[in-house]
Chain A
Amino acid sequence: MDNKLLKINNGQKIKLADIPHFSFDEFYEEILSLALNDYYIVHYFAYEDKGKIRLVAVLRRKNWLFVGISDTPEKYPALTCKCTKFHMFEREIAEQFAIKPVGHPWLKSVRYHANYLGKEDIFGNDYSEDIPGRYEYYSVEGEEIHEVAVGPVHAGIIEPGHFRFNCAGEKVLHLEIQLGYQHRGIEKQILNANKKQLPVIIESIAGDTAVANSLCFSEAVEALANIQVGMEAKKIRGLALELERIANHIGDLGALSGDIAFLPPASYYGRIRGEFLNMLLAICGNRFGKGLIRPGGIRFSITDKQKEEFVNRIKKLKSEIVHIGDMLFNQAGVLGRFESTGIVGTEIAQQLGLVGPAARASGILYDARYDLPAGVYQEIPLKVVTEHTGDVMARALVRYNEALQSLDIVETLLTELENNNSYKHTEFELEPDNFVVTVHEGWRGELSHCIITDSKGDILRYKIKDPSFHNWMGLAIAMRNEDISDFPLCNKSFNLSYCGFDL
């Protein structure tokens, strides 16, 4: 299907003037018809340029990204009514720039903060009041109906969020997830921040995704500042991203097992997760890979001694992971709880625009490392891991098989490493009036950053999209008609980010 948007590559610098600029009506028709076909939304956000508000849409299809800019009315008929993929994006735009999507089926604030323009609030919230403000919750009525409210402070060491279950007995009719408690205003803070602060702020968007976030940031800056990065640095970046993926996938498999009270894998995988974090620690001094990746390259090399040690450790860990996996996935009790729990069908996953392991578990064949490869991933042959049942079992299996695949990638990268990485701390100047979007497959799925610069080369808009922005709705849907006691299990099978979503 042809389209009027500009076709771009992942991480390609584009002059703002080269991006097609539409009237809103034309833009509306175009992005709607594309999103109703097999295009997916990577970004849909507003920004302010010389007093004018503009909308940007970045869509993807197969190996390409497509971008277009439009004028903005103060209100317009909500795209969400016709295409669910826009649901959260339109709420975010309404919250940040007070543009009203009229008829939006559930127009409430996303993160609970005043809009960027000081305009009248769309939702009627008074932000001098503490959260939760004046919003309603989706409610079900009837004699046997009851509500369960959980959070923001949860039972364990977890981030805050509010979950409202509408139940008939044990059965969940609907789950509404209200976030925003972690909102730090990062996108806004970046505009006022000193350049030297940026890498550290970026690494604190979501600590468990620090590598993927700093990778998206660094590649975006490198594109706009015309900085070339050597192959060795790219390899170590990929290696770090895969270590991040393995650590989180393995840790979550352990946690899933713990949630159904099958404790051996919970203990073993919990410990093994730490082994991978410790490899990051050995490389850069931080268990989450903070401080490793900077615009221009990577700050630490891997020594020959480390290389040898890591290869040996990974060989041993891989066999342990497989042995534990065999025990986990062959246990009747485990299958009984994992199978047919929290199902998200392929069609619904497509309608919601799910990404990452959650989407692949529902049979969607999309992995940014394969479809929109950047950096070292252009050189790595990858088989996209999928399942088709869309239940907890499928999500667990996708993550298990991806972890095994990542172990092979890490091993290959380590053996190919040549150790001539050179990095020097440098300052960067961004090219004025330009646009770039970078995409990486974080362990939760498609992570994307987008930078627009102004005529002085300052950052005019910094947009961050965590995969969780797409996927929280998937969890809500997975819970429909499930027992409320299966919530922890379903939740852990997605394990979405609160802080990455809240920004």
Chain B
Amino acid sequence: MLFSIIKNRIEQGYRTSKYPNEEIKLPERFKGKPEINSNCEQKIAELCASNCPQDAIDPKEKTIHLGKCVFCGLCEELSNGSFIKFSNDFELAVTDPEQLIYDGMIEKLEIHAKKHFKKLFGRSLQLRQVSAGGCNACEADLNVLNTPFFDLSRFGIQFVASPRHADGIIVTGPVTRNMKKALLKTYEAIPDPKIVIASGSCAISGGPFRGNPEQLNGVDGILKVDLYIPGCPPHPLTTLHALLTFFK
């Protein structure tokens, strides 16, 4: 039996990525940070805006709301890339909700990372995750950070069971009415100073459920959010980049 464990160990080898010391290139079709052509014909921008399932596009200003966008790529398909084209750059997180309204430029997250957060949490960051109406895709791709490839704990970042042990919460889902109380109680149980991270389109804006009366259109309405991580769900690397840049 031991023999089989050793054989498998040799076959599996060492799988942990060297990120962030070495870059990772995601597949061509991955939809990351969009490129916007602000000189695109108005008609095409309007076509994209009217077909956008999330109403994330403003055709006049030629912007796309990264917190509402689910990165389905329909606008790229309809404009044939002439208006919006999704690059495979996964660095999407922002700290200021204004910055979610994206016109082709995102200020580097480093600029907004607060020194005192780095000082407080840079060496050890313990997060409590709360799923508040998520479809389990965000949750699954947060869990993945604990697999050998990403191995989040090598950076001193861990997901913990008790809010009492946590430095902050990472929320997924649009915050359903039925989870509001539990979310607030979890938040209250975390000792100060604490941070709030909204992960995924739902937690940022309500996502596909925006406007639906059974939910609250995201975390913003009830808690002050420090970090927004767009995506549907955010790619694990988007989250990893956000956590490392903001806290390390």
Does B139 sit at the interface, judged by CB under 8 A? yes
Instruction: Tell me the smallest distance from the CB of A452 to a CB of chain B, in Å.
Output: 21
Does A210 sit at the interface, judged by CB under 8 A? yes
Q: A181-B176, A184-B133, A323-B8 are in contact. Are A271 and B209 (CB under 8 A)?
A: no
Does A113 sit at the interface, judged by CB under 8 A? yes
Tell me what chain B mostly uses at the interface: helix, strand, loop, or mixed.
mixed
Q: Give the A-B contact count at a CB cut-off of 8 A.
A: 198
In whole angstroms, how far apart are the Cα atoms of A194 and B133 in the complex?
21
Among B141, B173, B176, the most chain A Cβ lie within 10 Å of the Cβ of B176
Does B74 sit at the interface, judged by CB under 8 A? yes
B4–A271 contact, CB under 8 A?
no
In whole angstroms, how far apart are the Cα atoms of A282 and B131 in the complex?
27
Does B134 sit at the interface, judged by CB under 8 A? yes
Instruction: Tell me the smallest distance from the CB of B88 to a CB of chain A, in Å.
Output: 9
B178–A180 contact, CB under 8 A?
yes
Q: A153-B130, A185-B213, A200-B72 are in contact. Are A270 and B147 (CB under 8 A)?
A: yes
Choice from A153, A157, A201, A332 contacting B208 with Cβ under 8 Å: A201
In whole angstroms, how far apart are the Cα atoms of A299 and B75 in the complex?
13
Instruction: Tell me the smallest distance from the CB of A427 to a CB of chain B, in Å.
Output: 9
Instruction: Tell me the smallest distance from the CB of B13 to a CB of chain A, in Å.
Output: 10
Q: A196-B51, A197-B208 are in contact. Are A184 and B215 (CB under 8 A)?
A: yes
**Interface bracket on A:** 35 or more
B182–A499 contact, CB under 8 A?
no
In whole angstroms, how far apart are the Cα atoms of A422 and B48 in the complex?
21
Does B34 sit at the interface, judged by CB under 8 A? no
Does B177 sit at the interface, judged by CB under 8 A? yes
A330–B140 contact, CB under 8 A?
no
A286–B134 contact, CB under 8 A?
no
Q: Please name all residues of chain A whose beta carbon is closer than 8 Å to the beta carbon of B31 when the two chains form the complex.
A: 285-286
Q: Please name all residues of chain A whose beta carbon is closer than 8 Å to the beta carbon of B139 when the two chains form the complex.
A: 157-159, 207
Q: A131-B178, A153-B130, A204-B202 are in contact. Are A300 and B29 (CB under 8 A)?
A: yes
Which 6 A-B pairs rank lowest in CB-CB distance, beginning with the nearest?
Answer: A207-B137, A185-B214, A207-B135, A155-B161, A285-B29, A270-B147
Q: Which residues of B contact A (CB under 8 A)?
A: 1, 4-5, 7-9, 11-12, 15, 26-27, 29-31, 51-54, 70-74, 77-78, 86, 129-144, 146-149, 159, 161-162, 173-174, 176-182, 186, 202, 207-209, 212-215, 232-233, 235
For the A-B complex with A270-B144, A281-B27 known, give 6 more contacts whose Cβ atoms are closer than 8 Å: A130-B181, A181-B176, A183-B133, A271-B148, A283-B29, A327-B4
